[in-house]
Amino acid sequence: MFRFLGKVIVGLLALVGATVLVAAIVIVLTLPNLTPQREPLPGAMMLTVNLDQDLSEGEDDAWLGWGTKSVPLRTVLDGLEHAARDDRVMGLVAQVRGPRMGLAQAQEVRDAIHAFRTQGKPTFLHADTMPGGGGSGTLAYYLASAFEEVWLQPSGEVGLTGVAMELPFVARALRDWGLRFEGESRHEFKGVLSGLQDDGIRPPQAKNAGRLVASWFDQVVAGVSAARDIPVDRLTALIDRAPLLAPEAQEVGLIDRQGYQDEFRAAILEAVGEHSRVSVTDYMGRLDRAEPEHARRLALIHGVGPVVFKDSDGDTSPALTRRLSAAGLEAAIRQAVEDERVAAIVLRLDSPGGDYVASDRARRAVAMARERGTPVIVSMGNVVASGGYFIALEADQIVASPATVTGSIGVAAGKLVLEGLWAEQGVSWATLDQGANAAMWSANSSFSAAARRALNRRLDQVYADFTTRVGQARDLTLAGVDQVARGRVFSGADALELGLVDRLGGLREALRVAREAAALPDDEVVVVAPYPRPLSPVDRFMKMLEERSGLPGLAALAGVDVDHLQTLGRLGPALEPIAALYGRLQAAGLAVPSDARGADPVRLLYGGPQRPLATDGARDGRGQAP
């Protein structure tokens, strides 16, 4: 008996020892990333930006070498704004080929580049090509046109071919597989389920989507025309001839010079002299931005992705997808409101919609913030539609980019029915239920007449609630609401004319409006702070250990079981002083700092799929999409 207990104790001690050993190894490997030393910026530099990199909404989640490789849009915008006023920054150099950002984000970047140029600093861009194939050439040139000097490789092309939208319809394919999608929408313009139910686009949806494409096209043409001083009618004719090869593109004024990258670099050297190149992300990481602890704050809260009740991956763990968690948004708003330093909230939304009840919970959180005296300004990203727009309704003001997809004031719900597939496979299901609609959402059978009546009652209720709140929030009559509702989508520019948003602009404009709403003096130092407050690196590490969703990769790396690795979470208090000690060693020059410098964008390879300019808020199954 005692021998058995002794073995158990020895085994437990061995497990604890192995756990501590793994913790020590992890600490040694990751501390350079947890506490990087800020390397001083050079006395003179050229800022570089890679316009092909993914731009994400929200704060940077990449850490410990994991997570997204994208760059937060705010980092690029802030970097350009700071660099414009920084005497050490001599100019801006960029590269573009196949940008992945959305059109609304591209407009914010262009605005920031134009603001940079107003400080009298030169801006240079080089592209080996801006291909018409793949649909990215127009967006690439739209970005390029914001620069003072545009270079193109002699063998390249300017694929400024216009704007197109392609919508898939898979109902026929589903039928071939023995499947079908059943659902209802409010109303004829709500096309979120159409691709699953119809063999082709319906006339109302074609008209609505066609207007959206036309608005985007007009915005691109107007922006390029103004930037390159080419009359609109002449530019439209050039677009109809595109893609244009480099000699012709230079002849008509779309580019300034032809040349390879080495020639591009030599020309910059001759124009501004030899200077270090610093990427915009590296610049922001190394910039000394001491923030007064007690300064007034503008709380920046991001709501990104489909609306759900709660993100099961947790709000702080690295995740493969982004979702707008109603619970997380509610907590972030509450945290900001309860912080006495916060003068106003800027809610940055980029969401196609989602669950109606979750959207209503998030909307209520915005309303509560205003009731407690904190102004809320909504900044719209690429898409703020359906449930996303429902959340935005309670803001003091809504700021949208001209290209933002907004509206979709409607509701849809449905389910995929597998009845035909089961029959083909010789599978039958017996349903035993009590209650006329107990099996309403079963995928094994169609909606019964009673179930469809119940579904339609629910959709009518949601649609009435949505449109009523739109009328109240936007001061629209019943006729005015009907003109903008029924599932229609609009560009931000059209939404402004219809009264769905208050003004046009990006995140920087929303922050300015928030400052005005809080009546903050122009000369007062104000801090833009993300909420919820970011966790320290060690806290994030402990959080990942506590949540099973973040452990498999680390467990495999360490060669231990996930349950064993979770015991590391109890060592959190011990890690903080170790991390602080490592930071002091770095500051004293006794530890090798991690290399935080970004890659020179002109040396990167470009490619990859283009991110769609717009999506709509789909729901498949048991929820509704307002």
**Per-range mean pLDDT, top range of 242-251, 281-290, 425-434:** 242-251
Q: What is the mean pLDDT of residues 72-85?
A: 95
478-492, 533-547, 574-588, range with the lowest pLDDT: 574-588
625 pLDDT band (50/70/90 cuts)? very low
Are 26 and 74 members of one domain?
A: no
**Residue 172 falls within a domain, yes or no?**
no
Distance CA 464, CA 451 (A): 20
What pLDDT, on a 0 to 100 scale, did the predictor assign at position 617? 38
Distance CA 320, CA 67 (A): 8
> What are the Cα distances from residue 367, in Å, to 236, 337, 371, 474, 568?
45, 12, 6, 14, 41
For residue 218, being part of any structural domain is answered with: no
**pLDDT band for position 612 (50/70/90)?**
very low
Mean pLDDT of all residues in 58-87? 79
Q: Are residues 511 and 599 in the same domain?
A: no
Q: Residue 101: inside a domain, yes or no?
A: yes
User: Higher model confidence: residue 457 or residue 535?
Assistant: 457
Q: Please report which confidence band the pLDDT of residue 59 belongs to, taking 50, 70 and 90 as the band edges.
A: confident
- Residue 579 within any structural domain of the chain: yes
Q: Flag the least confident range among 170-184, 287-301, 343-357, 474-488.
A: 287-301
Residue 481 forms part of a structural domain: no
Query: Are residues 267 and 145 part of one domain?
Result: yes
Give the helix/strand (H/E) hosting 353: none
Quick check: 472 pLDDT over 90?
Answer: yes
Closest CA to 183 of 459, 410, 463: 459
Q: Which domain holds residue 565?
A: 2-34+535-594
**Phi-psi group of 232: left, alpha or beta (phi > 0 → left; psi -120 to 50 → alpha; rest → beta):** alpha
Do 358 and 325 lie in one domain? The reply is yes
| Residue 330 in tokens | 């509610």
Question: Taking 90 as the threshold, does the pLDDT of residue 141 lie above it?
Answer: yes
Q: How far is CA 124 from CA 84, 264, 396, 427, in A?
A: 14, 9, 39, 65
Report the pLDDT value the prediction gives residue 127, as an integer from 0 to 100.
97
Question: Same domain, yes or no, for 270 and 137?
Answer: yes
Mean pLDDT value of segment 151-166: 95
Examine the domain organization and report whether 131 and 257 are in the same domain.
yes
383, pLDDT greater than 60? yes
Domain shared by 47 and 145, yes or no: yes
Taking every pair of Cα atoms in the chain, the longest distance, rounded to a whole number of angstroms, is: 94
- Which tens digit of pLDDT belongs to each residue from 334-354? 999 999 999 999 999 999 999
**Predicted pLDDT at 33:** 52
Of residues 262 and 39, more confidently modeled: 262
The string over 479-506, giving b where at least 16 C-beta atoms fall within 10 Å of a residue's C-beta and e elsewhere, is eebeebbbbbbbbbbbbbebebbbebbb
Residue range 393-442, pLDDT digits in tens: 999 999 999 999 999 999 999 999 998 888 888 998 998 888 989 999 99
In a domain, 7, yes or no: yes
Instruction: Assess if residue 472 is contained within a domain.
Output: no
Question: Could you tell me the pTM of the whole model?
Answer: 0.81
Q: Are residues 302 and 334 in the same domain?
A: yes
Mean local confidence (pLDDT), 112-124: 96
68 with 147, same domain: the answer is yes
Sign for the pseudo-dihedral over CA of 226, 232, 238, 243: positive
> 279: which strand partners?
48
Tokens 């300004």 belong to 377
Q: Average pLDDT, stretch 296-319?
A: 74
Structure confidence at residue 137 (pLDDT):
93
**Same domain membership, residue 43 and residue 13:** no
3-state secondary structure 79-109: HHHHHHHCCCEEEEEEECCCCCCCHHHHHHH
Residues 25 and 124 in one domain: no
CA distances from 209 to 105, 164, 352, 408 (A): 20, 10, 15, 11
Write down the pLDDT at residue 569.
43
- pLDDT band at residue 464 under the 50/70/90 scheme: very high
Domain-located, residue 378:
yes
User: Beta-carbon neighbour count of residue 165 at 10 Å?
Assistant: 13
Number of domains in the chain: 3
Give the domain-ending residue among 513, 534, 555. 534
The pLDDT assigned to 58 comes to 84
What is the average pLDDT across 275-293?
Answer: 89
Which is nearest to 53 in space by CA: 613, 616, 621, 599? 599
3-state SS, residue 488: coil
Which of 140-144, 291-295, 439-443, 554-558: highest mean pLDDT? 140-144
Which pLDDT score, from 0 to 100, does residue 579 have? Answer: 43
Question: What's the chain's average pLDDT?
Answer: 82
Q: Which amino acid is at 101?
A: M
- Whether 567 has a pLDDT exceeding 50, the answer reads no
Domain CATH number, residue 83:
3.90.226.10
**Residues 151, 13: one domain?**
no
Burial of residue 160 (number of CB atoms within 10 Å: 0-12, 13-18, 19+) = buried
Q: Which of 288-292, 307-311, 447-451 has the lowest mean pLDDT?
A: 288-292
> What phi and psi, each to the nearest 5 degrees, are found at residue 251?
-60, -40
Examine the pLDDT at 609 and tell me if it is beyond 80. no
